[in-house]
Structure formats: structure tokens, C-alpha cells
Structure 1
């Protein structure tokens, strides 16, 4: 069979600048001014907003408008921009629901570019869920779910990783900050989580996680540790039966199919070096069970990614930080990690795809 051509390294990573009143626009500008924006990166957002934020913060950045498919302008402190117009002017720290459609339009532009071969991957700066809901999108629950629906994916997985755990050659525990944590459920109220822990969801999420640890991280035989839902993983049914009735039987069935899924383990003791040394990722049952630990270990130097999509998407590990917007005090470290990760995952996915078609 002919070799399938890998993604061109010249294809850019499209960076959506997120909530216009938040720190996303200025983080992108900071990286550009410092020369820390990875090569072949392009911002997706309102060019006037970016110019105003750069002037406010005294950032010396040359903004260069271009269109998907065109060569990116290059040069010191140059920030290429695929323009998407705001619906109404924005002030740092001041939310305006009138710009909800604008934020979603930047996401749609980046997805379209990835799907049409104009971008290798997309990285998203933080958005504000509440303002999008208030802006006329009542079912919006976050980037992850929106991208699932926009790409027509049946199921996706949210996974965060600390910077030192992002590279394909890193496998297993290397220190207190090396973590990959995936979530069985994402943005659900805590009282709804138990009902969402089903055999069907656990099978789908485990399979996607294992497949993308191979496809995007190059781990041939991923080892996944699974948290229990209840304290002490249910204490043999005395603190809840989800482990006995749902999680353990499902993991046993997955192991019979060849997946290396271990547990369920008590979450309060799983996140220790002794246990993490033996696995490549942890699957937590709900948002704060896994992400509180990861963000304690590596906040500001970690990235979020969505597994199970037909494209590569990464994001920062923090929110819009409205109180810091326009002050110049926010750190762009997580955005830099997320952009590097997007490039790495796109290259790894292309290499895996090429190998599988030989």
C-alpha cells in the first residue's frame, strides 16, 4: 500500500483566543512578544481586540491578518491572525453575553481549518461557560462537549497532563508532577455523577483513552489505573455498590478483551508514587476527583486535551482569570505547554497513521 503522507510541519496550530474579556488574548500576545510562540502558530480572534490589548499592556507585537490556506507572515514578534470579528467591543474583566456567538465562531473557524487541511491542530484559550449560556446557548457545558458535537464524535475524553508527562517517550511515574489524568465524566453536578457511571460509558471512555495513548503518545500497551467512585472504593459495598456492581465487572470484561485497565482503586491512595510508577494514565470518575490532584502537582504547567476527536485539540489548565485580565500579571506558561503539546500530538498522530497504512 502506498505510504500515507503525514501532516506538513508548515501547517499551523490554530489558537482560539477565548473569552475576549479574559486573559486569553493577552497570553497569546505575550508569547508572541517574547519569541516564545512556537513556530507556525496563528491566533484566531478579533484583530482590533488584540491590538487594543497589546497597546494597553505595552506589548510590542506586529499583528498580521491572513486567511486559512495562506502562508503565515513571519518575523520577530509577528503574530499571524485569522480574523473573527467581535459582536460588540470588549473591556478586560467585563463579561458581555453579546460576544457569546463570537467565542463560538472562533472555535468553529479553528475546527473548519483542521477539517479542511489548513491547520495541523487547535489550541483553545479559556472561555467563560456562564456568559455563553447567558448569550443564548443554554445547553452549552464546555469546550469538550461542544467539540464532540461539532465534530460528530460519539464520545470524547477529557485528559490533562503535566508538562513533563507530555512527551511520547515518557511512560510511567517520573516524579511528583508527571501525571496524565482522564475523566469518565466531565462537567456534571456532583449529584448526577453516580448515575453517569455506567458500563457503557466506562467501556467507551476506556477504549478511547487506551487508543489515543497509543495513537497520540506512542505508548504501545497503555496501562490505565481506574479510580473508584466512593471513598475507599466502596469498602466492599459498605460505602456504595458502584464498584461491585458496575466498575469491577466492566474492568474485568475489558481486561478479557486485552485492555490493561487496573482497579478500581481508592482515589485517596492511588495518586501516590508507588501506584503511579506502574501506570501510564489514571482514569478518574469525576472532574474534581482527578483534576484537583493534577492541578496541585502542576498548575500553570499542564495542558488539557480532548481524546476521541478526528482532530487534535489542546487547551490551558486554567480559566479566564477576569481579575487578571488587562493587568499583564497572568502567566502564559500553560498556553505555551498546550501549543507545544498540540504540535507534538499532531506529529505523533500523523506518524502513527502513516505507520498503520504501510
Structure 2
């Protein structure tokens, strides 16, 4: 305090002794400035002012700390909420996979339903493995008066469709209980292939039925890469190994060969349909041309036996209409693993193992 110089630490440069004295007098004379009490010297006034400034600074710091504490509390709250939602979702999934009761036979007579939904594919929910597991459950259930395939599918893999058809025909020959097919919105191509193994096929009047044919679709980009100046490098052992490559030209003999493959697969489809509902099929050359009809038109052509929904069948066949779904639950972990595998394979440029030939309604 012996130094007369005053350092204005919040504003401006250091002041000389005379300048500091004048600044103190100006502040003391300004409105709102703290005035010295009677008998109080200048040194005491300065100390009181310093303490007031310190108290104001303390209040400001306390406010900042309080705001930071509130912010931290909200962050912790939202983090806790996110963790709680994740744990709830995980718990629900684990319960559904491991603890929830599986499809059990309903009490009393009922129809055992197995759903065929979406594209028929090895890695889809309409895979042969999943559908046949459901069929086996419904077939063995003592209260199931019939096995009902509830179909809403545009078709898909020939191999998966043929596998389901063959197993249904095997069960049908045992004759223990009828196998019925009900087409909800669409039962086309490979989905109709499956339905053909049933003892009876029913459809809604406005549903889409048929499309008995085989398809392989692709693109030819050979002229595009020529114009872009891109060189396609494919190394094969066997002159026809890459004949389906979209960036290579297809020779006439290769085109004829591939058309023969499709025709052979188509004939397999036709033979199996004739082995199923063949006796009631109309003598119409369009039946196996790949055309698709409404349920009402399909009944006139013999593709379906009647127009009925699942509820209609339950009322007609049972005194107390009752259905039980025997379709196996989807394993969410398995689905996630398969999707992750597909993404990784596509990202790495690895070829997929899906068959290029499809019993599927063209999009």
C-alpha cells in the first residue's frame, strides 16, 4: 500500500500517482459510488470497496458453478434415460427370444396357421427352413384340424419353393390332416408353387394369383464402358464362365443355352403344378405363360378352389372358429448378423450366392 501508483486491473493501462488520485476522486464523487462514512479514512473506504468487489465476484462464480451443476444434472439424466431405454429394449428382445412361450397348440379344435410372407429366400422370413418348421409344428399339434398356409408373397427362390413343395406333398400323401392354402393379397410364382401342394387353394376375390413362369433379369453395360473408356478385366478358366457378366457381350449360343436353362426350370414348375391342382386346371394355354389373374379369374381357370379368407375357412370347418399361428418367431440376433454380413459382403465387393433364376413376379 506504500506505492501511490494505482493499477486499474479491469480497465486501461497502469496510472501514475496523480492520475490515480484524480480517478479515485472522480469515482467517489460519481452517483452511486460508495462514500466514506463519518470518521472513515480513505484507506478504510478502499478496503470496503475491495470487499464489495470481492463479494460481487463470489456471487458471479457461485452463479456459474450452479449453472454448471444444473447442466451436469441434465446430462446425467438424459444419459441415464438412454441407458434405460437400451436396457429395456435388450430385455424385451431377450425375453422374446429365450423366455417368451413359443407357439403352443390352442385348446380345442383349431386351424394351424403358417404364414408365408414376403420374398421366398434362404435368408428371408419366408425361408424353407422357417416355413417347414412351422408346418411340422402345426402337423403334429393334436388340436389342429388342418394346416393352413397363409400366403402373401410374390415368390422368390426356385430351390426354396421346390423344397417346401416337396415336403408338403410328402405330408399330404400321409393323409392325416388336410393342408390348405389361403392367398391373402398375392400368391404369385414361387408362392403359387407352394400353394399347389395343398389339398385346397382359396383366395380373396381381388388377390393376385398365378404368374407361373421363370425370370432372370439383368443389364448390359458393355457399350457404356466402351464409351467411358473403361477396361473390364475378368479372368476365367472356361470360355462360358462369365457369360452372365453384365459388362461382357453375350454370344448367340450362350443366349440359347441360358434360355434352355430357364425353359427346363419352367417345365419343373409346370409339372409340379399339374401334380397338385392339375385335375381342375382349365385347358388354357395362358396358364403357364407367366400371366397373373385376380382370385375370381383364378377360380374360373381352376388355379384356386374357392374364394375365401382365413376367417371364412375357420367358420366353415369349425363349430367354434379358432386359429393358432405356428410360424416360428424370428431371431433378432440372427437377422442382425445376416444383415451385417450382407453389408460387409457388399462393401467388400464379394459376390452373393443367390440364384439368378427366380420364381418371382417381376417388379
TM-score tier by shorter-chain length is under 0.3
Relative contact order higher in (CA < 8 Å, ≥ 6 apart): 1
Who wins on radius of gyration, i.e. which is larger?
Answer: 2
Q: If the length of structure 2 is used for normalisation, what is the TM-score? A: 0.25
TM-score normalised to structure 1 length: 0.25
